[in-house]
Amino acid sequence: MSVQEMNLQELLDCFHEVAHDPGKQMKKYLDEGKKVVLVAPVYTPEEVIHSMGMVPMGAWGGDIQLNEAKKYFPAFICSIMQSIVELGTKGVYDGASAIVIPSLCDSLKVLGQNWKYAVKDIPFIPMTYPQNRKPAFGRTFTKAGYERVAADLEKATGIKFEEDKLPASIDVYNAHNAAMRAVSEKLASHPEITNQQRSDIFKSATFMLKEEHTELVNALLAALDKAGASAKKTIRIMTSGILADAPDLLTILDENNMQIVADDVAAESRQYRTDTPDGDKAPLERLADKFAETDNCSVLYDVEKKRVDKIVEDAKKADAKGVLVLLTKFCDPEEFDYPLIKRACSAADLPCVLIEIDRQMVNYEQARTAIETFKDLLA
Amino acid sequence: MYTFGIDIGSTTSKCVVMKDGTQIVGTSLLVGGIGTKSPAEAVRQALENAGVTREELAGVAATGYGRNRYEDADYHVSELSCHGLGAHHTFPGVRTIIDIGGQDAKVISLDSEGRMQNFLMNDKCAAGTGRFLDVMANILVIPVGELADYCARAKEPAQISSTCTVFAESEVISQLANGVEMEDLVAGICSSVAGRVASLAKRINIVPEVCMSGGVAQNAGVRNALSEKIGHPILFSPNAQLFGAIGAALYAWEKKQ
């Protein structure tokens, strides 16, 4: 069945299947003869990989028990990083040609260094970003990082990087960004779509070629228009954090009639906010400009912390009644920002609640209590 | 109109029968919380105390960690909301509630009308909870209900870590080995719990009046230490441990109105 022939439910099922079985998706690409390159969070230059005819596939870890990874990490470190290594040591990523890991937080730096020893069969390619990304020297540094990634990819895969093929991939990614922004906005007026289904749409994006995902998302947008919005009344909230994909957590939100109408989640909308600019510059320079112009994220240096105001602004714009901060345990950049977010929300009369999450949570009762109380507070 | 609130916690079950949302006509409090026979027995005892039958109850609300497994309830309500309602009912001027239960600690902020403004919960950690006191009382072979008496007789409270129950347990054993007086050790333990919870409370804007709820509120040693650390007097009611159940009964009453 073609994507255009799929109805709303079939499209939602398709997102769900991809989001919950990335291994099947990876096997499909490998069976098609494509090379798969893992991309760790966040802001990995996927366009470079895509332009080389390979599939960039998100590696954000999974909700699993950590055993092997503990050989490589201290106890108090981000569980996303640990679960990426855990999955690597268990062979879940076997078949991937390389993994690109950016350097945007201390845990990510540790991930890269440990990956080399923990998962020897999948080459580690570092993407070293500058702290000062906006000045010309920062952009030059970023571009040099992309060139290093391209060179390492050539070495790992034997496929040559040709910069003149990059603009086509940039167009694919810009189109996908637009589709994701549109679907986020559209879903805010469709309370019948559950939080789990919304998460599936975002999560599946990391496991698919972006042109394929864009086609699905555009079909979904059309199907939503055709179906019309339901009259269901929900409590509208905005989420913020690194991840928001735990099924138990999303179920609790659904059970409490809470609808995510906007997000500031790194694995969701944050990565789709900024397009690569058009222009006459060389494609890699344009890509470096994209990173330079990306803002409002805990791992991107900003002395003014404009991110905080954007959260309030986005929440108000989406008519969210409160902000739910899903703090990934031991994520320093997010922890540093939380007091500022809390203060800004308070000043804007926007209730804000924090729930700590990680990749190893098995009991969500404390989260349930916090969410139920948040609901009472918003009511 | 009679309404009923049941608070099924991690270590105890509490019930309250209320008449017309104002008068408490029956209560019960049993050791044993979620997953035990205590909730059913607590219901039986509270109804018996009130002289009311199940059929006469206009509404039942369940709260506490076991709330969602209690099937005979019309409403299942978060314990933070219920502690807020129960505390406001008991102390109409209260603005900050510090609830230390068997396995967690919470701070609730109310506005002048008693509406919840904000709340905080502790990390998933036994330090700063009733569990910490249980573990320490067990090591010292003192009934947990007598900790406050020991605390009152202390001359120089011992220094006990407030960061980890397991480490603090080792510290207490070391201090016992060093001959530290039992009373001073208990005062150190109470101060440790108070220190941990005070840190949590200070993350919210503490507005007086302040009260405590939950089982640990019965412990004057913790109460006094906490009062000193947050710089505000702490209101105390003998019903502090019932605030959740009172709030649940009030919630049921409000819903039935």
Helix/strand number for chain A, H first, E second: 14, 8
pLDDT band at B146 (very low <50, low <70, confident <90, very high): confident
Gap between the Cα atoms of B92 and B102, Å rounded: 26
- Provide the pairing of β-strand B75-76 with B96-100: unpaired
Greatest alpha-carbon pair distance for chain A in Å reads 59
Half-sphere exposure of A185 (CA within 13 A, CB side): 11
Nearest CB neighbour to B80, from listed A351, A365, A373: A373
Nearest CB neighbour to A376, from listed B78, B118, B123: B78
Mark yes or no for CB contact A373/B78 under 8 Å: yes
Chain A positions in Cβ-Cβ contact with residue B79 (cut-off 8 Å): 369
Mark yes or no for CB contact A372/B118 under 8 Å: no
Nearest CB neighbour to A356, from listed B77, B117, B123: B123
What domains can be seen in chain B, in order of their start residue? 1-91+238-257 (3.30.420.40), 93-236 (3.30.420.40)
State pLDDT tens for residues A49-104: 999 999 999 999 998 888 899 899 888 899 999 999 999 999 999 999 999 999 99
What percentage of chain B has pLDDT greater than the value 70? 98
Of B134 and A88, the structure prediction assigns the larger pLDDT to A88
Which residues make Cβ contacts (< 8 Å) with residue A261, sequence separation at least 6?
Answer: A187, A188, A236, A237, A238, A318, A319, A320
Distance, in angstroms, between A43 CA and closest chain B CA? Answer: 31
For residues B38 and B92, is the Cβ–Cβ distance under 8 A? no
Of B74 and B193, the structure prediction assigns the larger pLDDT to B74
pLDDT band at B102 (very low <50, low <70, confident <90, very high): confident
Give mean pLDDT, residues B65-69. 88
Mark yes or no for CB contact A369/B78 under 8 Å: yes
Chain B positions in Cβ-Cβ contact with residue A368 (cut-off 8 Å): 68
> B123 CB near a chain A CB, below 8 Å?
yes
Domain ranges, ordered by start, for chain A: 34-165
Q: What is the CA radius of gyration of chain B?
A: 18
Mark yes or no for CB contact B119/A377 under 8 Å: yes
CB pairs under 8 A between A and B: 33
Of A75 and B83, the structure prediction assigns the larger pLDDT to B83
3-class secondary structure, A357: strand
The dihedrals phi and psi of A52, each to the nearest 5 degrees, come to: -90, 10
Nearest CB neighbour to A373, from listed B65, B119, B124: B119
Mark yes or no for CB contact A366/B121 under 8 Å: yes
The dihedrals phi and psi of B73, each to the nearest 5 degrees, come to: -125, 145
Q: Best residue in A366, A369, A371, A375 to probe B by mutation, most B CBs within 10 Å?
A: A369
Distance, in angstroms, between B124 CA and closest chain A CA? Answer: 8
Gap between the Cα atoms of B15 and B24, Å rounded: 11
Mark yes or no for CB contact A377/B117 under 8 Å: yes
Which pLDDT does position B163 carry in this prediction?
A: 66
Q: Which CATH number fits domain A34-165: 3.40.50.300, 3.40.50.11890, 3.40.1190.20, 1.10.579.10?
A: 3.40.50.11890
Residue in the block written with tokens 């029956």: B26
Distance, in angstroms, between B185 CA and closest chain A CA? Answer: 30
Least confident of A21-35, A302-316, B24-38: B24-38
Mean pLDDT of chain A: 95
Cis peptide before A42 (omega within 30 of 0): yes
Residue type, B230: I
Which pLDDT does position B216 carry in this prediction?
A: 84
> B121 CB near a chain A CB, below 8 Å?
yes
Mark yes or no for CB contact A376/B123 under 8 Å: no
Which pLDDT does position B178 carry in this prediction?
A: 85
E-assigned strand segments in chain A: 36-39, 55-58, 98-102, 124-127, 235-241, 258-265, 322-328, 352-357
Chain A's closest residue to B80, CA to CA, is: A373
For residues B180 and B148, is the Cβ–Cβ distance under 8 A? no
3-class secondary structure, A211: helix
Distance, in angstroms, between A12 CA and closest chain B CA? Answer: 30
Gap between the Cα atoms of A16 and A215, Å rounded: 16
Which pLDDT does position B162 carry in this prediction?
A: 61
Exposed/middle/buried for B31, CB within 10 Å: 0-12, 13-18, 19+?
exposed
Of B201 and A202, the structure prediction assigns the larger pLDDT to A202
Distance, in angstroms, between A370 CA and closest chain B CA? Answer: 8
pLDDT band at B121 (very low <50, low <70, confident <90, very high): confident
3-class secondary structure, A48: helix
What percentage of chain B has pLDDT greater than the value 90? 47
Nearest CB neighbour to A370, from listed B77, B116, B121: B121
Q: What angle do CA A271, A330, A325 make, to 5 degrees?
A: 55
Least confident of A118-122, A133-137, A199-203, B110-114: B110-114
Which pLDDT does position B172 carry in this prediction?
A: 83
Which pLDDT does position B124 carry in this prediction?
A: 66
Gap between the Cα atoms of B168 and B190, Å rounded: 12
Which pLDDT does position B215 carry in this prediction?
A: 82
Chain A positions in Cβ-Cβ contact with residue B65 (cut-off 8 Å): 365, 369
For residue B123, pLDDT beyond 80 = no
Interface ipTM > 0.85: no
Chain B positions in Cβ-Cβ contact with residue A356 (cut-off 8 Å): 123-124
Residue among A319, A322, A309 at smallest CA distance from A351: A322
For residues A320 and A291, is the Cβ–Cβ distance under 8 A? no
Chain B's closest residue to A361, CA to CA, is: B124
Gap between the Cα atoms of A270 and A282, Å rounded: 25
The dihedrals phi and psi of B123, each to the nearest 5 degrees, come to: -70, 165
- DSSP assignment of chain B equals -EEEEEEE-SSEEEEEEEETTTEEEEEEEEE--TTSSHHHHHHHHHHHHHT--GGGEEEEEEESTTGGG--S-SEE--HHHHHHHHHHHH-TT--EEEEE-SS-EEEEEE-TTS-EEEEEE--S-STTSHHHHHHHHHHHT--GGGHHHHHHT-SSPPP--SS-HHHHHHHHHHHHHTT--HHHHHHHHHHHHHHHHHHHHHTS---SSEEEESGGGG-HHHHHHHHHHHTS-EE--TTGGGHHHHHHHHHHHHHH-
Q: Distance of CA A43 to CAs A104, A199, A315, B204, Å? A: 9, 19, 23, 35
State pLDDT tens for residues A136-194: 999 999 999 999 999 999 999 999 999 999 999 999 999 999 999 999 999 999 999 99
Chain B positions in Cβ-Cβ contact with residue A372 (cut-off 8 Å): 77-78, 81
Distance of CA A356 to the CA centre of its chain: 18
Gap between the Cα atoms of A343 and B163, Å rounded: 26
Give mean pLDDT, residues B91-97. 95
